[in-house]
């Protein structure tokens, strides 16, 4: 009898990809949209945001009644909080049956079997074997037109605020042949756009027959797959943006004109305290080079405000950088300490000051985002149709620049790649007319 699996995913696109692979590896389960009536609940966690662990414990508390009503229900915690907390999760929440880190989820079937046998199952190792090699081939079922594909994991940068090197491990790249094989399988199942993922995806250096491929070469090879129409990648580090990858933005037609390139701060003093190993000037110079290769590039970034010891002058430098670069999208956060990181030992900026700075920065980013979106009105863009809209005859997709676009037409199907003229700009999306 098929059992029911509910997965709740926190955090980044890599966790979305990992959740897909965990669902695939747990044979005998069908994935459901609600924890009610599930035979297994799996939380795939992220340790980046503020109070990440406490949010997981709070979520687990919501399942207490379900566990009491169904003693056979198994509850698991996966991902980066699982890696960081380990046995502490089971100590604080005895109803948790299994805990597995992000590098060990290929072992989920044996952990699930142990949990079914009444044992507590814990695996937060960094195993020597490649989890991707141990994972079974992906099922052949048809799927939506877009997909994530992890090509690189881990980080060697050790930014002072970040736990990723401790929860995901050192930088590692998947072999070229395995990436290409998975991409071809996805395309055979109906995928038309692939986003390549990595903690530092542009640090990709995959092996192929004794040769090392960088990300640009991988992208160009993926572009040779006929039915793959679009390629994106995220998240990148400024220090790993090599010349051939910059060139690819100008000469690879299938590489979309959207780049997420976090800077975190515009103050050189704060960047040094963050251990970012780049300066505001070097970042701006890099952006100018990329935009010279692809003038219509839409840029997004990450910003942390209220980093320990940040002054008003430091913050103003960040606003100045944003004004100069002009972002089409951005993610901004108030600094929150991650236990075990160097910055966690430093004195915090006063909460009211950090809150005020975050509001000011987000106001500026919002103005830039809206300006970039409004500037699309009247332009012709390609839209990959992803789903029906809320209105009859309406379909929704993403433009080359990752804007959501609503198109009214009875002739469109999910997976169609069509040309439209943008006719209107709303608060969070565009409207277009089919050409």
Q: What is the pTM of this model?
A: 0.87
Q: What number of other Cβ atoms are within 10 A of residue 287's Cβ?
A: 22
Model confidence at 431: pLDDT above 90: yes
Specify the pLDDT at position 307. 97
Contacts (Cβ under 8 Å, ≥6 apart) of 110: 121
Taking only the tens place, the pLDDT of each residue in 225-275 is 999 999 999 999 999 999 999 999 999 999 999 999 999 999 999 999 999
- How far apart, in whole angstroms, are the C-alpha atoms of residue 126 and residue 369? 40
Outline where 75-145 has alpha helix (H): 80-85, 87-92, 108-116, 131-134
- How far apart, in whole angstroms, are the C-alpha atoms of residue 89 and residue 77? 8
What residues are paired with 59 via a beta bridge? none
Mean pLDDT across 18-34: 91
Residue labelled with tokens 């035979």: 39
- How far apart, in whole angstroms, are the C-alpha atoms of residue 415 and residue 197? 21
Identify the residue with better confidence: 320 or 11: 320
Comma-separated ranges of CATH 3.40.50.12160 domains in the chain: 3-123
Mean pLDDT across 269-295: 98
- CB 68, CB 33: distance < 8 Å: no
Grouping H, G, I as helix, E, B as strand and the rest as coil, residue 303 is strand
Contacts (Cβ under 8 Å, ≥6 apart) of 386: 144, 145, 146, 396, 397, 398, 414
Mean pLDDT across 308-326: 98
Residue labelled with tokens 């994972």: 135
Rounded to the nearest 5°, which phi and psi values hold at 302?
-120, 145
Specify the pLDDT at position 14. 85
DSSP character string of 245-287 = HHHHHHH-TTB-SEEE---B-S-HHHHHHHT----HHHHHHHH
Specify the pLDDT at position 321. 98
CATH number assigned to the domain covering 3-123: 3.40.50.12160
Specify the pLDDT at position 197. 96
Taking only the tens place, the pLDDT of each residue in 142-156 is 789 999 999 999 999
Least confident range from 122-126, 358-362, 380-384: namely: 122-126
Comma-separated ranges of CATH 3.80.30.20 domains in the chain: 131-374
Specify the pLDDT at position 54. 82
Specify the pLDDT at position 134. 65
369-393 residues labelled b (16+ CB within 10 A) or e (exposed) = beebbeebeeeebbbbbbeebeeee
Model confidence at 72: pLDDT above 90: yes
Residues of each annotated binding site: 12, 46, 80, 155, 159, 162
Residues 380-434, CATH architecture: Beta Barrel (2.40)
Taking only the tens place, the pLDDT of each residue in 341-372 is 999 999 999 999 999 999 999 999 999 999 99
- How far apart, in whole angstroms, are the C-alpha atoms of residue 139 and residue 164? 30
- CB 72, CB 66: distance < 8 Å: no
Mean pLDDT across 307-325: 98
Model confidence at 282: pLDDT above 70: yes
Model confidence at 163: pLDDT above 90: no
Confirm or reject CATH 3.10.105.10 for domain 131-374, answering yes or no: no
Residues of each annotated binding site for [4Fe-4S] cluster: 12, 46, 80, 155, 159, 162
Model confidence at 409: pLDDT above 70: yes
Specify the pLDDT at position 356. 98
Q: How confident is the model at residue 11 (pLDDT cuts 50, 70, 90)?
A: confident
Report which of 332, 236, 253 is spatially closest to residue 296, judged by C-alpha positions: 253
Omega into 235 within 30° of 0, i.e. cis? yes
Specify the pLDDT at position 85. 84
């Amino acid at each position: 009898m098929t059992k029911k699996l509910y997965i709740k995913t926190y955090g980044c696109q890599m966790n979305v990809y990992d959740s897909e692979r965990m669902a695939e590896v747990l044979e005998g389960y069908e994935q459901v949209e609600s924890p009610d009536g599930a035979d297994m609940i799996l939380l795939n966690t992220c340790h980046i945001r503020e109070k990440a662990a406490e949010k997981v414990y709070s979520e687990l508390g919501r399942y207490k009644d379900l566990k009491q009503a169904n003693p056979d229900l198994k509850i698991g915690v996966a991902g980066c909080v699982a890696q960081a907390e380990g046995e502490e999760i089971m100590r604080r929440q005895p109803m948790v049956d299994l805990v597995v880190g992000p590098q060990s989820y290929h072992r989920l079937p044996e952990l699930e079997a142990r949990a079914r046998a009444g044992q507590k199952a814990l695996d937060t190792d960094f195993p020597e074997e490649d989890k991707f090699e141990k994972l079974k081939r992906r099922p052949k079922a048809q799927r939506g037109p877009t997909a994530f594909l992890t090509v690189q994991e881990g980080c060697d940068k050790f930014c002072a605020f970040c736990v990723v090197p401790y929860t995901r491990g050192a930088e590692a790249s998947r072999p070229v042949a395995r990436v290409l094989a998975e991409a071809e399988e996805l395309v055979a199942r109906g995928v038309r756009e692939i986003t390549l993922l990595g903690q530092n995806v542009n640090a990709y250096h995959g092996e192929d027959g004794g040769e090392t491929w960088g990300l640009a070469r991988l992208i160009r090879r993926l572009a040779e797959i006929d039915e793959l129409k679009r390629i994106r990648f995220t998240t990148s580090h400024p220090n790993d943006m090599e010349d051939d990858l910059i060139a690819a933005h100008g000469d690879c037609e299938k590489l979309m004109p959207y780049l997420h390139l976090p800077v975190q701060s515009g103050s050189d003093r704060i960047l040094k305290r963050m251990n970012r190993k780049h300066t505001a000037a070097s970042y701006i110079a890099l952006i100018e080079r990329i935009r010279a290769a692809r003038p219509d590039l839409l840029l997004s970034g990450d910003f942390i405000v209220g980093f320990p010891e940040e002054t008003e002058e430091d913050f103003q430098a960040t606003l100045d950088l944003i004004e100069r670069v002009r972002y089409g999208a951005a993610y901004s956060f108030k600094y929150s300490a991650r236990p075990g990181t160097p910055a966690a030992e430093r004195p915090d900026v006063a909460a009211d000051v950090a809150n005020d700075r975050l509001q000011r920065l987000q106001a500026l980013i919002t103005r830039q985002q809206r300006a970039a979106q409004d500037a699309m009105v009247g332009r012709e863009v390609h839209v990959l149709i992803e789903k029906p809209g809320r209105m009859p005859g309406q379909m929704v997709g993403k433009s080359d620049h990752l804007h959501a676009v609503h198109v009214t037409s009875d002739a469109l199907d999910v997976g169609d790649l069509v040309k439209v003229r943008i006719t209107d700009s709303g608060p969070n999306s565009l409207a277009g007319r089919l050409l």
